[in-house]
């Protein structure tokens, strides 16, 4: 969730049931957000316990052909309306629709579907963060309160479900697909830990090095996010791996929430709705930015990051040093944004993809305590401890001036390793489809959904 939050405090291991406001106390966004998270956790756990890993009533989310149709091409497959639950998460479709015309899509084109073969269709379910700009839709009332004359308020989390295809690759496709879904739902998550710099010597415990501790002037919520999927580079590995296979990361001191709505994109010239409310939330030459829109987010893409060349404040425009990808940020209906990142590539002895992000280097197994080689800023250090990483994996690191430290599990001198704070994906099978000569018959579709019996009205 790339919002302007202080921190995220929900921890299911604490088993809290509610948040209690006290009179005369400061109101914090983290308290409100934790209450919402507690309720969401309870409801989804209840639904998963009652329904199972996935399920729906009747024909909900059934893959089939249009009524009265004997056969169809893959593009003409339909999905039935209804409710379907995946690990307790409600997926809704208000009206039957062609699969390739669904609003939340990452459907392969016909180039990805052979004329002959068996394919599995499955749901990929996750949540995305939606700001007031990304919510703008002339057909609906938006979440921005226009009476405030500019300032925004609360943002939203949106359940996104997507249909994905996977081709059957062996002689026992059913077992293969079951194993595939199980691997997706139980994949090993990557690991990271963070700290503020500790003193390098213990000779005089009463003296603290001026280089130690978090030295920022503001409370921040740092976000470390994987940009390019791939493998981490083992520390001091020789020979070094192919840069194209290396994972990269980016970071933001504002949780990635510094964004600028795009009104027009013309080559390297980007016209923005505004340039930020002040210098802290603005843009400067040489800043690293990313152009995103709805489709880019749904497809979990990671195009090369871009660098600001100059800023035309009179015309609210930004000129970039390189051309952006041609197929992102050009359609105003897809809510294009320019997002600022605060990292500065360079300084690493390791090479990764030329994407404007920083190569991920994994500490060696010898002595991780001696290897805190990756520094963000103001004394904050991180340490990657896994071999593979996926685009979108992220960790949040609250940094506090009052303590001169970061909030991270474990003792200050020995922070524990953590799995990502998100994005959490859940998966469920829908159907197996056999294509012959580019066509599909009703008998070529095997339903893989789980049907739950709807409770009858009293």
Do 307 and 380 belong to one domain? yes
Do 441 and 404 belong to one domain? no
Q: Say which residue the tokens 């100059």 belong to.
A: 310
Q: Are strands 117-130 and 97-98 parallel, antiparallel or unpaired?
A: unpaired
Cα distances (angstroms) measured from residue 351 to each of 19, 241, 307, 345, 373? 47, 8, 19, 11, 15
Rounded to an integer, the average pLDDT of 62-73 is: 90
Query: In this structure, is residue 364 part of a structural domain?
Result: yes
Tokens representing 174 are: 């059913």
Q: Give CA–CA dist 433/180, Å, rounded.
A: 16
Do 196 and 184 belong to one domain? no
Per-residue confidence band for 159, with pLDDT thresholds at 50, 70 and 90: very high
Do 170 and 213 belong to one domain? no
- Mean pLDDT check: name the lowest of 139-148, 195-204, 209-218, 293-302: 195-204
pLDDT at 116: 83
Query: In this structure, is residue 421 part of a structural domain?
Result: no
pLDDT at 225: 98
**Residue 180 dihedral angles phi and psi, to the nearest 5°:** -65, -50
pLDDT at 58: 93
Facing residues of 85 across strands?
A: 55, 90
Class of residue 49 by CB neighbours under 10 A (exposed 0-12, middle 13-18, buried 19+): exposed
**Number of structural domains found in the chain:** 2
For 95-135, the pLDDT digits (tens) are 888 876 675 544 444 446 667 888 889 999 999 999 999 99
Do 157 and 222 belong to one domain? no
Do 151 and 75 belong to one domain? yes
Cα distances (angstroms) measured from residue 45 to each of 12, 338, 354? 11, 36, 42
Q: Are strands 361-362 and 233-234 parallel, antiparallel or unpaired?
A: parallel
Query: In this structure, is residue 143 part of a structural domain?
Result: yes
Do 175 and 277 belong to one domain? no
Residue 339: CB partners within 8 Å, gap ≥ 6? 2, 256, 258, 259, 260, 289, 290, 291, 292
Give the CA count within 13 Å in the CB-facing half-sphere of 323. Answer: 5
Query: In this structure, is residue 29 part of a structural domain?
Result: no
Do 158 and 279 belong to one domain? no
Domain containing residue 245? 192-415
Do 81 and 118 belong to one domain? yes
Do 219 and 355 belong to one domain? yes
Rounded to an integer, the average pLDDT of 230-244 is: 83
Give the CA count within 13 Å in the CB-facing half-sphere of 18. Answer: 3
Do 199 and 95 belong to one domain? no
Is the per-residue pLDDT at 293 higher than 50? yes
Query: In this structure, is residue 3 part of a structural domain?
Result: no
Do 118 and 238 belong to one domain? no
Query: In this structure, is residue 435 part of a structural domain?
Result: yes
The mean pLDDT value of the chain amounts to: 88
For 421-449, the pLDDT digits (tens) are 999 999 999 999 999 888 999 999 999 99
Query: In this structure, is residue 391 part of a structural domain?
Result: yes
Q: Give CA–CA dist 190/420, Å, rounded.
A: 7
pLDDT at 250: 97
Is the per-residue pLDDT at 184 higher than 60? yes
Residue 135: CB partners within 8 Å, gap ≥ 6? 142, 143, 144, 156
């Amino acid at each position: 969730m790339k919002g302007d939050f202080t921190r995220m405090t929900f921890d299911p291991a604490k088993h809290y049931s509610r948040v209690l406001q006290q009179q005369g106390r400061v109101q914090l966004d983290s308290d409100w957000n934790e209450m919402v998270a507690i309720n969401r956790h309870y409801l989804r756990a209840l639904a998963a316990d009652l329904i199972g890993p996935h399920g729906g009533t009747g024909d909900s989310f059934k893959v089939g052909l249009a009524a009265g149709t004997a056969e169809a091409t893959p593009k003409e497959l339909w999905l039935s309306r209804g409710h379907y639950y995946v690990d307790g998460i409600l997926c809704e479709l208000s009206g039957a629709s062609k699969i390739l015309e669904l609003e939340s899509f990452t459907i392969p084109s016909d180039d990805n579907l052979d004329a002959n073969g068996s394919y599995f269709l499955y749901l990929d379910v996750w949540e995305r963060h939606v700001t007031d700009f990304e919510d703008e839709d002339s057909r609906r009332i938006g979440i921005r309160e226009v009476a405030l004359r500019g300032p925004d308020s609360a943002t939203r989390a949106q359940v996104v479900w997507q249909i994905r295809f996977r081709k059957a690759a062996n002689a026992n496709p059913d077992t293969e697909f079951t194993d595939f879904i199980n691997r997706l739902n139980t994949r090993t998550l990557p690991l990271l830990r963070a700290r503020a710099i500790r003193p390098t010597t213990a000779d005089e415990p009463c003296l603290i090095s001026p280089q130690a501790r978090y030295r920022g002037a503001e409370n921040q919520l740092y976000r470390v996010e994987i940009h390019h999927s791939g493998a981490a580079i083992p520390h001091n590995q020789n020979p070094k791996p192919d840069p194209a296979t290396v994972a990269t990361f980016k970071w933001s001191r504002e949780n990635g929430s510094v964004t600028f709505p795009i009104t027009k994109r013309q080559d390297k010239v980007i016209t923005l709705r505004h340039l930020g409310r002040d210098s802290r939330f603005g843009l400067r030459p040489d800043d690293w930015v990313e152009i995103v829109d709805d489709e880019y987010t749904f497809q979990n893409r990671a195009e090369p990051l871009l660098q600001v060349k100059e800023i035309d404040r009179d015309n609210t425009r930004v000129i970039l040093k390189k051309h952006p990808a041609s197929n992102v940020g050009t359609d105003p209906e897809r809510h294009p944004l320019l997002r600022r990142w605060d990292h500065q590539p360079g300084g690493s002895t390791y090479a990764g993809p030329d994407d404007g992000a920083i190569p991920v280097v994994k500490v060696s197994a010898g002595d991780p305590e001696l290897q805190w080689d990756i520094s963000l800023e103001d004394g904050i250090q991180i340490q990657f401890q896994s071999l593979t990483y996926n685009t979108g994996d992220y960790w949040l690191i609250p940094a506090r001036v009052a303590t001169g430290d970061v909030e991270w599990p474990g003792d200050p001198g020995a922070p524990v390793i953590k799995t990502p704070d998100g994005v959490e994906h859940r998966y469920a099978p829908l159907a197996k489809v056999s294509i012959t000569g580019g066509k599909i018959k009703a008998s070529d579709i095997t339903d893989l959904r789980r049907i739950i019996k709807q409770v009858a009205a009293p």
